[in-house]
Amino acid sequence: MTTPSFGAYFQCYKNPYATYMVLESFRRHYPSSTVVLCSDNGYDYTKMAEHFNCIYHHRTKNMWLIYGDCVELDKGKDGAHIPWAKELLSHMKSMFSLIKEDYILWLEDDLSINHPISDSCINDINGFNPNHYWENMKVQLSKTYTHIHPSKDYTWSGGGGSIFNKSSILRYLDNEIIIDDLLMNWSSYNLTREIVCDFLLSIIVHCNCGTVGSLHAVEDGPRNEIVSSLAIQHQYKRYYGVPMPHELYYLIKE
């Protein structure tokens, strides 16, 4: 049986020491894997990307991962969420396509990779997903997507520490019919008040008959303490806001 391979995608901004420490923790266990580092209109991380052997992309405008209040979206009073989501998903598809490995780990500034991933990633999105779809959401979705059963429990994930099956997620991101339907009928399906990137990805996966599930090795942990039993520890903020050490400052350009 072939051992699965793991690459990574990392969208960063202006928290360089935290970014550095996350990349260091990933490279400790995956020294030759593909890492796509994308500065979201933040600092210039060209030299840090070189230091950690990353593919580097620099956006000149922010690509927010959350779109605001969606209550009025279907009533023709806004609609700006559609081009926003289309641009976000197109960007993700192009970045994910650069990764050659079987699975993509979503890195964030509040992660620590404590040891290699040994759990089986059996779902299309694997991670820490304590959030559940509510009843009326499942009822409304099931009218169009008959494979979704209101009596079944569905959870969502896709944020920091989540692991994506690359071939599956790229295939689902190509299905513009489902994406357009969800975006145009967001409120009608009784979906989230805000469009959050991890929920958007999960709902796209579920409507394509894909799966989202938990991975025991991924969990939210304490802010300042390493939990060695976790392969991927989320909400680890020890280096948040900590200034870049002088000897590493050459790795960024403000």
Out of 47-56, 108-117, 220-229, pick the least confident.
Answer: 220-229
What's the confidence (pLDDT) of residue 76? 44
Out of 16-25, 28-37, 183-192, pick the least confident.
Answer: 183-192
Per-residue pLDDT of 185-242, as tens digits, reads 998 999 988 888 999 999 999 999 999 999 888 888 888 899 999 999 999 999 999 9
State how far the Cα of 96 lies from the Cα of 103, in Å rounded to an integer. Answer: 10
**Residue 78 pLDDT class (50, 70, 90 cuts):** low
Of 72, 69, 66, 97, which is closest to residue 84 (Cα–Cα)?
A: 66
What's the confidence (pLDDT) of residue 31? 98
Per-residue pLDDT of 8-18, as tens digits, reads 999 999 999 99
Of 126, 128, 154, 130, which is closest to residue 140 (Cα–Cα)?
A: 154
- C-alpha torsion sign, points 185, 191, 196, 199: negative
**What percentage of the chain exceeds 70 in pLDDT?**
94
List C-alpha distances in Å: 138 to 43, 46, 152, 156, 225: 41, 44, 9, 13, 38
119, amino acid identity: D
Q: What is the CATH number of domain 6-242?
A: 3.90.550
Region of 4 (left: φ > 0; alpha: ψ -120 to 50; beta: rest) is beta
pLDDT at 152 over 80: yes
Mean of pLDDT values over 150-171: 94
Mean of pLDDT values over 89-93: 95
Mean of pLDDT values over 83-93: 93
User: In what side-by-side order are the strands of the sheet with 55-59?
Assistant: 55-59, 35-40, 6-12, 103-107, 163-165, 125-127, 212-214
State how far the Cα of 53 lies from the Cα of 34, in Å rounded to an integer. Answer: 8
**What percentage of the chain exceeds 90 in pLDDT?**
76
Q: In this structure, how many other beta carbons lie within 10 angstroms of the beta carbon of residue 251?
A: 21
State how far the Cα of 47 lies from the Cα of 32, in Å rounded to an integer. Answer: 18
pLDDT at 129 over 90: no
